[in-house]
Chain A
Amino acid sequence: MTLTPRAYSYFPGCTLATTAVDYDASGRAVAAALNLDLHEVPDWNCCGASFPLSAENVMSFIAPARVLIAAQHAGQDLATLCAVCFHVLKRSDSYLRKHPEAADRLNAFVTEGDYAARVKVRHLLGVLRDDVGWEAVRERVVAPLQGLRPAPYYGCLLLRPQAEMELDDPEAPSLLHDLLHALGADPVGFPRQAECCGSTLLVSAPEANQRLSAAVIDSARSAGAAIVITACPLCKFNLERAQEGRPQAEQLPVAYFTQAMAAAFGLPEHAGPAFRREVAA
């Protein structure tokens, strides 16, 4: 099956540009392998890292709105990898569409252009399922992840709230499960697969963060998983950090879904150490 070439605007976000370059690099590599052309949004800024939950201040939408404005020119769907960026951009877009008066106020002082509700915000996982299709993903696999039992970890912000994120059912998600199946693995669902890793409590309440991430890891391990697969650099950091005190043999490696894809697509340079270690084991 020849892969139809598809083009998307791409927003890496600040974390993927710095502390999580491996996620960015593996994402670009596997996208290219699937004939997906990712055009980085020109002159982008941080999405804001948190979706404004207070309504009264339109100013807090400036950061994500600027990204959406910058993406408007290319006229393509905007794809993201970082779950939090996806959450912030998608919900901000949704908010501004529902509140045109807020969009007007915002447009009054943003000079880069006007937000015009023209961009569809997507996550690469949604692109894989809906545009590319699992069959095409399966065909691209040269080194199936046979015998591997990964725990698909969805976290919070990728899927909730379902009505706005429009990606998958947080109560019974299958997106990562289906991807991992297509890569030849045997994914293991677990009770905490869509529970919080602790998020920014890493900074403000580190002990609580530790407890939450440790609970996610323990839940995955109890279900028989050998590795945790995620779509968020903060989840990955939290889950790895929570295991730091434990003996190496007891630690569950954590990898991005793009690294799993890279391993299966025969692109070992992007599979990451966690994946190489696990597949080799």
Chain B
Amino acid sequence: MKDSGCTTALVVGAGIGGITAALDIANSGFPVVLVEREPSIGGHMAQLSETFPTLDCSQCIMTPRTVEVGHHENIRLHTYSDIESVRREPSGSYVVRIRRRAAYVDWDKCTGCGVCQEKCPFKVVSLFERGIGPRKVIYTLSPQAVPNKPVIDAQQCRYLQSKWDMEAGRAPAVDKHGNPVTPKCGACAKLCPTGAIDWEQQDRVIEEQVGAIILATGYDLLPVQRLPEYGGGELRDVVDGLAFERLLAASGPTAGKVVRPSDGAVPKQVVFVQCSGSRDPERGVPYCSKICCLYVAKQAMLYKHRVPDGQATVFYIDVRAGGKGYEEFVTRAQEEHGVVYLRGKVSKIYSQDGRLIVKGADTLSHRAVEISADLVVLATAYVARASTAAVAAQFGVAVDENGFLAPGDEEMAPVESGVEAVFLAGAALGPKDIPETVAQASGAAAKVLSLFQQRVAAEAHVTA
């Protein structure tokens, strides 16, 4: 069938929601343009060790889909890209300009061998690893990245910075003997077997014409800096839930060994603090982040699997376990793994003699409780990404008072934005777990397919 542009879909965001929607549409025979900000697809699910309630390995259940996306003949994948502008044509289709940022690596030449990343001499903070481990300046997010092609973090790259300094006259281009100065490092370029490093690479703008859009831009976690009474990010052994996932993940920076970030010792007393910023109209977000009760139970159980003689304690206000098998899952943590649940919101966490003092309470036994912990995991609030409002605005979509995408009718049309041919799915709408995200993504995809089918039928009618 001719690609008129009116039956091409755009999916913004390639986490599990975007991936699911893209595959549903592509497998139905329609072209999909899939745009992702990160160098590779997978979103937060790619950071997880195991998922609740099945304890499936997250990478294992996701990789078949990411690989399918990477190879799919109907999916045009643009990673390391942002939506630059959106324009509605008189025909009703959308013209979207996508800016693909300069990666300084020619992905057509790159074979994904990984030598550049291995040999890059410089380690920097990795947002993907949430402070647990570093990455290199030239990097892929993970060994299973799709596409498995690296990008160079230009801000941190000594070659690029010194090259640009020289070009701008900020640094001398010749030495005292009059010889040209070579920019620093450049190890990756020297070692790349296919010569894929491209120091002159520029941003590229791609224009795509699409007939329907799905926004699936995902979520973020409240930064620990927002919780000064829990250390405000200054205490190395107080981490958030995603950071603990990186400790648990077999492909993570510690190869799945649960250790304290400060000294690498195995923690024997891990305290999980639920509602860190959630249900807190005064100083955090007013809503419940929904998934923390389950992922804390999961993380506590996984910790006990790794460190059987360790103690896991959870401070909670309520346990919210409404999904299928969820209550039973939490009960398992309590009854079979000896995870102790204390009902009380933690007031303060501070450091003393290398340990963390957690001041909480157990209202059920009428006691204020103090625990000396090795490691504290904060179940921080699930929040809208900082960019969600701006991306939504590009498509004329509203966000709610908490910054999440707002459907026109939350109750009866939760994946419809209210803007014609623009649909919404997944975490960007508010706290939800993976099954819900996948279901919503399929729901949004079904809406798109229904729209496309009508257009195909209309066109067939016209040409008949």
Contact = CB atoms under 8 A, between A and B. Distances in A.
Q: Do chains A and B touch in the complex (CB under 8 A)?
A: yes
B352 A191 contact: yes
A169 B232 CA distance: 12
B351 to A, nearest CB: 8
Contacts of A171: 228-229, 232
A45 B190 CA distance: 80
A171 B234 CA distance: 13
Contacts of A172: 228, 232
A222 interface: yes
B294 interface: no
At the interface, is chain A mostly helix, strand, loop or mixed?
A: loop
B152 interface: no
Interface in A141-178: 169, 171-172
A278 B352 CA distance: 25
A191 B350 contact: yes
Contacts of A169: 228
Which bucket holds chain A's interface residue count? under 10
A222 B229 contact: no
B266 to A, nearest CB: 25
B357 A191 contact: yes
A222 B353 CA distance: 9
B281 to A, nearest CB: 14
Interface string A206-244: 000000000000000010000000000000000000000
A169 B141 CA distance: 37
B153 to A, nearest CB: 30
Interface string B219-248: 000000000110010000000000000000
A112 B350 CA distance: 49
Interface in B346-360: 350-353, 357
- With most chain A CB atoms within 10 A of its CB, the pick from B351, B352, B353, B357 is B352
A223 B246 CA distance: 32
Contacts of B350: 191
Nearest to B232: A172
A169 B229 CA distance: 11
Interface in A189-203: 191
A171 B232 CA distance: 9
Nearest to A191: B350
A255 to B, nearest CB: 25
B352 A222 contact: yes
Interface of A: 169, 171-172, 191, 222
Given A171-B228, A191-B350, A222-B352, 9 more contacts: A169-B228, A171-B229, A171-B232, A172-B228, A172-B232, A191-B351, A191-B352, A191-B357, A222-B353
